[in-house]
């Protein structure tokens, strides 16, 4: 699975929709994701990638693309 | 002074999720206590409880809603919705500020707490579900009910162990009487059947084992009683100001006529006789009716050795010669000890007894205890006029609450 597929899987799981319905260029606003969903998505991403997402980074993630980009940086940087 | 009536009731219990099924099961003396099915009992000494059978959360809530609802909040919302529908109440915008919620619970979101602690302590998890706090807090059920039905008046939770929902109903009654609200959804919920909670209860050595006969495990007032049985459930009553109920032509079950609450200020688990007796007297005083109008008491009746003796003494102290004329039953023999929801579920049984003039039985009653020598309605219901009835709840911690209901009309 690519980082993008894994991110979409986490978001789909958190907001209870099919992964196929989540487009890679969708914003969280378009997906109807509120702040509480956002917290749950960050929790899911941490679990999926086995990382800790600092609060400053969590605040910046407002779309699927941003999540993928941030996660790609972290995953690539990891040893 | 404003008067308060009951215009709707909703129940989710081990013996039924509709009023009809609930009361029919009680009248039939049928127990909902069984071998625990919802959690692994291999490491438990006590393997019985009164679970809600056939409860499917997904029939009532979406997956997204369930992310934020502990079991005790789910069943509170389900009971509140059915109480509102039973009352035939359509809530419109001007009503909302005058509509309140008062719910009791002893354990709050203990499923969520159990799961969170399991992750932290046992699995050494790096992270915990971020919804843990809003799910486990004791006021979650009151908040969720308030949000689901749009109640914007006074809303709060009460936690006084086994008396929680009797206190919440009493407080709700006084809120309406004093003019703080016109309608209150009052009652409580508890879902304490988790591995952690069951282990802690086992340690107290007050649970019935029910070996060989789970359904017959809880035997209040019977000489061979061996302790209480943990249950789960929710009960919600619609308390409404009388004139408002009349204006909309609501069907009225009964009038809430009195509330008494006292503290033993004695021992954390060993009850006194005078604390419960004073609570019954206080409730009766508010009703303003003579004690010979009281016909039925839904007892706290936990089936522990000590409670049933103390409660019998307290009833005799309050009622004197009238005590032997009363029908007194413990429906815990069938729905188990539903902890913080007990008072609500038992008040619903009390109201139906009063409405239909029939006292539900104490099931599993085998033989008299010399220290419990009143009419406990053994095994068979007793048809008799019920003018005024009491619902007793006496909590660990010595906190006692009694609600009195009166026939209306």
Q: Give per-residue pLDDT as tens, B273-302.
A: 999 999 999 999 999 999 999 999 999 999
Helices B140-149 and B71-87: angle between axes, nearest 10 degrees: 40
The encoded tokens of residue B408 equal 């209306």
Tell me if residue B130 falls in helix, strand or coil.
coil
Whether residues B143 and B71 fall in one domain: yes
What DSSP designation does B292 have? Answer: G
Residue B120 has pLDDT above 70, yes or no: yes
Whether residues B272 and B202 fall in one domain: no
Tell me if residue B391 falls in helix, strand or coil.
strand
Tell me phi and psi for residue B158, to 5 degrees.
-125, 135
Contact (Cβ atoms closer than 8 angstroms) between residue B302 and residue B50: no
Residue B138: CATH number of its domain: 3.40.47.10
Whether residues B331 and B371 fall in one domain: yes
Whether residues B53 and B171 fall in one domain: yes
Q: Is A40 on the interface with B (CB under 8 A)?
A: yes
Tell me phi and psi for residue A24, to 5 degrees.
-65, -20
Q: Which of B191, B225, B247 is the last residue of a domain?
A: B247
Other C-beta atoms closer than 10 Å to the C-beta of B210 total 23
Whether residues B274 and B227 fall in one domain: no
Tell me phi and psi for residue B59, to 5 degrees.
-75, -20
Helices A3-15 and A64-77: angle between axes, nearest 10 degrees: 130
Q: Is A39 on the interface with B (CB under 8 A)?
A: yes
Whether residues B241 and B264 fall in one domain: no
Whether residues B225 and B288 fall in one domain: no
The encoded tokens of residue A7 equal 């991110």
Cβ contact, residue pair A46, B130, below 8 Å:
no
Instruction: Tell me whether residue B252 is in a domain.
Output: no
Tell me phi and psi for residue B248, to 5 degrees.
-95, 5
* CA pair distance B238, B248, nearest whole angstrom: 14
Query: B67-71: long-range contacts at Cβ-Cβ below 8 A with a sequence spacing of 24 or more?
Result: B67/A16, B67/A40, B67/B131, B68/A36, B68/B131, B68/B134, B68/B135, B68/B144, B69/B135, B69/B140, B69/B144, B70/B108, B70/B109, B70/B110, B70/B111, B70/B112, B70/B135, B70/B136, B70/B140, B70/B191, B71/B111, B71/B191, B71/B232
Instruction: Tell me whether residue B254 is in a domain.
Output: no
Residue B409, pLDDT score: 79
Whether residues B235 and B265 fall in one domain: no
Cβ contact, residue pair A16, B63, below 8 Å:
yes
| Residues in chain A closer than 8 A to B68 (CB atoms) | 36
Residue A78, pLDDT score: 55
Residue A14: CATH number of its domain: 1.10.1200.10
Residue ranges making up the domain that contains A55: 3-77
Please report the ipTM that was assigned to this predicted complex.
0.83
B130 min Cα distance to partner chain A (Å): 6
Query: B203-209: long-range contacts at Cβ-Cβ below 8 A with a sequence spacing of 24 or more?
Result: B204/B269, B206/B304, B207/B46, B208/B46, B208/B48, B208/B303, B209/B45, B209/B46, B209/B48
CA B59 vs CA B21, B54, B74, B141: distances in Å: 19, 11, 11, 18
Percent of chain B with pLDDT over 70: 100
Instruction: Give the pLDDT confidence of B356-386 residue by residue, as tens digits.
Output: 999 999 999 999 999 999 999 999 999 999 9
User: How many domains are there within chain B?
Assistant: 2
Whether residues B67 and B94 fall in one domain: yes
Residue ranges making up the domain that contains B155: 4-247
Q: Which residue among B167, B218, B337, B372 is the active-site one?
A: B337
Whether residues B79 and B192 fall in one domain: yes
Instruction: Tell me whether residue B31 is in a domain.
Output: yes
Reply yes or no on whether B162 is catalytic.
Answer: yes
User: How many domains are there within chain A?
Assistant: 1
Q: Which of B247, B282, B317 is the last residue of a domain?
A: B247
Per-residue pLDDT of chain A (79 residues; tens, 9 = 90+): 899 999 999 999 999 999 999 999 999 999 999 988 999 999 999 999 999 999 888 988 999 999 999 888 877 765 5
Q: Is A46 on the interface with B (CB under 8 A)?
A: yes
Which residues, in sequence order, are bridge partners of residue B122? none
Tell me phi and psi for residue A54, to 5 degrees.
-65, 155
Instruction: Tell me whether residue B217 is in a domain.
Output: yes
Whether residues B318 and B375 fall in one domain: yes
For residue B130, what is the nearest residue in chain A, using CA coordinates? A40
Instruction: Give the pLDDT confidence of B291-339 residue by residue, as tens digits.
Output: 999 999 999 999 999 999 999 999 999 999 999 999 999 999 999 999 9
Whether residues B92 and B238 fall in one domain: yes
Instruction: Please report, for chain B, how many H helices and E strands are present, in that order.
Output: 15, 14
Instruction: Tell me whether residue B253 is in a domain.
Output: no
Q: Is A35 on the interface with B (CB under 8 A)?
A: no
């Amino acid at each position: 699975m690519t980082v993008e597929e894994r991110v979409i899987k986490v978001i789909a799981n958190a907001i209870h929709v099919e992964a196929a319905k989540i487009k890679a260029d969708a914003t969280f606003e378009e997906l109807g994701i509120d702040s509480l969903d956002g917290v749950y998505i960050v929790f899911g991403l941490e679990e999926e990638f086995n990382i800790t997402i600092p609060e400053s980074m969590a605040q910046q993630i407002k779309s699927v693309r941003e999540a993928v980009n941030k996660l790609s940086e972290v995953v690539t940087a990891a040893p | 002074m404003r008067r308060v009536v009951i215009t709707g009731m909703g129940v989710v219990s081990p013996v039924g999720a509709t009023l009809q099924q609930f009361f029919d099961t009680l009248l039939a003396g049928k127990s909902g206590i069984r071998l625990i099915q919802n959690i692994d009992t291999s490491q438990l000494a006590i393997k019985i409880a009164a679970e809600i059978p056939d409860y499917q959360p997904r029939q009532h809530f979406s997956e997204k809603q369930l992310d934020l609802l502990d079991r005790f909040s789910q069943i509170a919302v389900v009971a509140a919705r059915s109480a509102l529908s039973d009352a035939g109440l359509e809530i419109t915008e001007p009503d909302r500020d005058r509509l309140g919620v008062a719910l009791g619970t002893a354990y709050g979101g203990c499923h969520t707490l159990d799961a969170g602690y399991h992750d932290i302590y046992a699995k050494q998890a790096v992270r915990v579900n971020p919804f843990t706090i809003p799910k486990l807090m004791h006021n979650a059920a009151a908040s969720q009910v308030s949000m689901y039905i749009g109640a914007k008046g006074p809303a709060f939770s009460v936690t006084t162990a086994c008396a929680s929902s009797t206190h919440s109903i009493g407080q709700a009654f006084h809120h309406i009487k004093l003019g703080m609200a016109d309608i209150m959804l009052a009652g409580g919920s508890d879902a304490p059947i988790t591995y952690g909670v069951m282990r802690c209860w086992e340690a107290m050595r007050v649970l019935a084992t029910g070996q060989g006969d789970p359904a017959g495990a809880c035997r209040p007032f019977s000489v061979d009683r061996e302790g209480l049985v943990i249950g789960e459930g929710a009960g919600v009553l619609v308390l409404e100001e009388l004139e408002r109920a009349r204006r909309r032509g609501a069907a009225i079950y009964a009038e809430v006529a009195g509330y008494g609450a006292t503290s033993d200020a004695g021992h954390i688990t060993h009850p006194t006789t005078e604390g419960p007796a004073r609570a019954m007297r206080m409730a009766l005083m508010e009703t303003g009716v003579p004690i010979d109008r009281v016909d039925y008491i839904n007892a706290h009746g936990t089936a522990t050795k000590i409670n049933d003796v103390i409660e019998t003494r307290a009833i005799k102290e309050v009622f004197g010669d009238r005590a032997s004329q009363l029908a007194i039953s413990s429906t815990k023999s069938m729905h188990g000890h539903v902890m913080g929801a007990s008072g609500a579920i038992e008040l619903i049984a009390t109201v139906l007894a009063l409405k239909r003039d029939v006292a539900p039985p104490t099931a599993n009653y085998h033989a008299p205890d010399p220290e419990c020598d009143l009419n406990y309605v053994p095994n068979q219901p007793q048809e008799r006029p019920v003018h005024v009835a009491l619902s007793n709840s006496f909590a660990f911690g010595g906190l006692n609450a009694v609600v009195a209901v009166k026939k209306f009309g």
